[in-house]
Amino acid sequence: MTGAAGANTRALAALALQRIVDGASLRVEFEAAAAQLPDGRDRALLSALLHAGARWWLRYAAGVDLLLERPLPKHAVPLRALLALGIVQIEALQMPGYAVVDASVEAARALGKPAFAGLVNAILRRWLRERAALGARLDRDIVTRTAHPRWLLDALAADWGALADTIVAADNTEAPLWLRANRRRSGRDALAARLRSAGVVAQMPEAPDDALLLEAGGDVTGLPGFAAGEFSVQDGAAQFAAELIDARDGQRVLDACAAPGGKTAHILERADVRLLALDRDEKRLPRIGANLVRLGLHAEIRAGDAAQPDAWWDGERFDRILLDAPCSATGIIRRQSDVKLHRRADDVAALAGVQGRLLEALWPLLAPGGRLVYATCSVLHCENDGQIERFRARHADATPVGAAALPPWRAAGAGAVQNLPGESGMDGFFYAVLEKHR
């Protein structure tokens, strides 16, 4: 990677990070910026910068503010993101300090702000000289010490007590890369062997039974077997959904909030079922279809709001329903670090209301003797065990499955379990499994 390319990558990262801070999706911004970088090494650097930049924004943007004598003019606002990324490279990514300074100065010029090159140089060099004292100042406040918003820190403390610190620490680490073998095309033993032959080390955890855990991340599309649909990328925690649905050949299955289709595909890999993949966002449906085509699978894909079945349901009940509900995503912050920047306290109550409405709308669609799996990637009680307790109080015909059928996680009420971020190397995830009385 040339110096010019490195400067351009950092300039693109600064612009993208500023948009992320202003509310844009990290995934969307990464894809748009990466399309401008033909070299895989530049795309890898961009990914590292954006994920670490969002993860540590609440700490190191505040560090920039300690060093600026006055706010930047409006036309130079992306330089604040560039400076924060400079500190992130030094502190979080452990890059050589003066190399980061030089690259950031060149990035300021690439941004079309050569008049600010001297300021970028001065601010980052001052950080290098005073980093211990400045870090101590940032540590005085829990928000800048942990790089978490105060509302979330309060919610974690209320729900998890002393474990809140463990969750916060896990959030600030990089998530490992999990793969899911497509058992219709390659068993995981054979896939692991193929990866090893290509120099990729993959562990085979005891559970879930289609999972592989890679020691190093990177661009999975270049790995052997990806183009042939032999595997998908899916965190280990999310892979339990298909196991818990326990679909049998010939059954009718609904994936009620299906996009981008990972759990839909996993169910189809495990059983020959009639599956309806539903999602309210029509723009997300092509991604489901593309994933299924690559994996050699088929489902009916339809746009529809699961909370309003009158608009799409044909009256035939489902034997299995998966409700991977919209949630706060507080269990996957280490993987989607922009959650810390975008989610607000008021969002959680609103999401809990949506989850309750979805459960109420879908339960009548489940056949007697059928099974509903409720899942979230949240660690907040009001979305998880609290939600299921309220639902069961309203529905005497909802019977929780036995503990032996659940993943070996923390018990979270009858028929429910919770994984915290980083436990068993997996994301924070909640499952409740309910069966309907005949």
**pLDDT of the chain along its 438 residues, tens only?**
445 668 999 999 999 999 999 999 999 999 999 999 999 899 999 999 999 999 999 999 999 999 998 999 999 999 999 999 999 999 999 999 999 999 999 999 999 999 999 999 999 999 999 999 999 999 999 999 999 999 999 999 999 999 999 999 999 999 999 999 999 998 899 999 999 999 998 999 999 999 999 977 777 888 999 999 999 999 999 999 999 999 999 999 999 999 999 999 999 999 999 999 999 999 999 999 999 999 999 999 999 999 999 999 999 999 999 999 999 999 999 999 999 999 999 999 999 999 999 999 999 999 999 999 999 999 999 999 999 999 999 999 999 999 889 999 999 999 999 999 999 999 999 999 999 986
Q: How many Cα atoms within 13 Å fall on the side-chain side of residue 243?
A: 17
User: What CA–CA distance (Å, rounded) separates 369 from 320?
Assistant: 9
Which pLDDT value is given to residue 361? Answer: 98
Closest C-alpha among 391, 401, 304, 314 to residue 355: 391
Alpha-carbon distance of 175 to 18, in angstroms, equals: 23
Cα-trace Rg, the chain: 23
Compute the distance between CA of residue 116 and CA of residue 106 in angstroms, rounded to an integer.
10
Q: Please list the residues that pair with 213 across neighbouring strands.
A: 178, 203
Question: How many CB atoms sit inside 10 A of residue 182's CB?
Answer: 25
The first and second tokens of residue 242, run together, are 């298909």
Alpha carbon distance 435, 401 (integer Å):
7
Neighbours of 112 (CB within 10 A): 12
List Cα–Cα distances, 303 to 264, 266, 311, in angstroms: 15, 20, 10
Helix axes 57-67, 117-139, angle to 10 degrees: 120
Question: Cα–chain-centroid distance for residue 428?
Answer: 10
User: What confidence score (pLDDT) does residue 1 get?
Assistant: 46
- Cis? peptide before 368, omega within 30° of 0: no
- How many Cα neighbours within 13 Å face the side chain of 362? 33
Tokens representing 429 are 């995830």
Structural domains of the chain ordered from first start: 3-147 (1.10.940.10), 177-233 (3.30.70.1170), 236-436 (3.40.50.150)
Catalytic residue among 257, 327, 377, 382: 377
Burial of 104 (0-12, 13-18, 19+ CB in 10 A): buried
Q: Is the pTM of this model over 0.85?
A: yes
For residue 327, indicate whether it is catalytic.
Answer: no
Separation CA 426–CA 407 (nearest Å): 12
- The pLDDT value recorded for residue 3 is 57
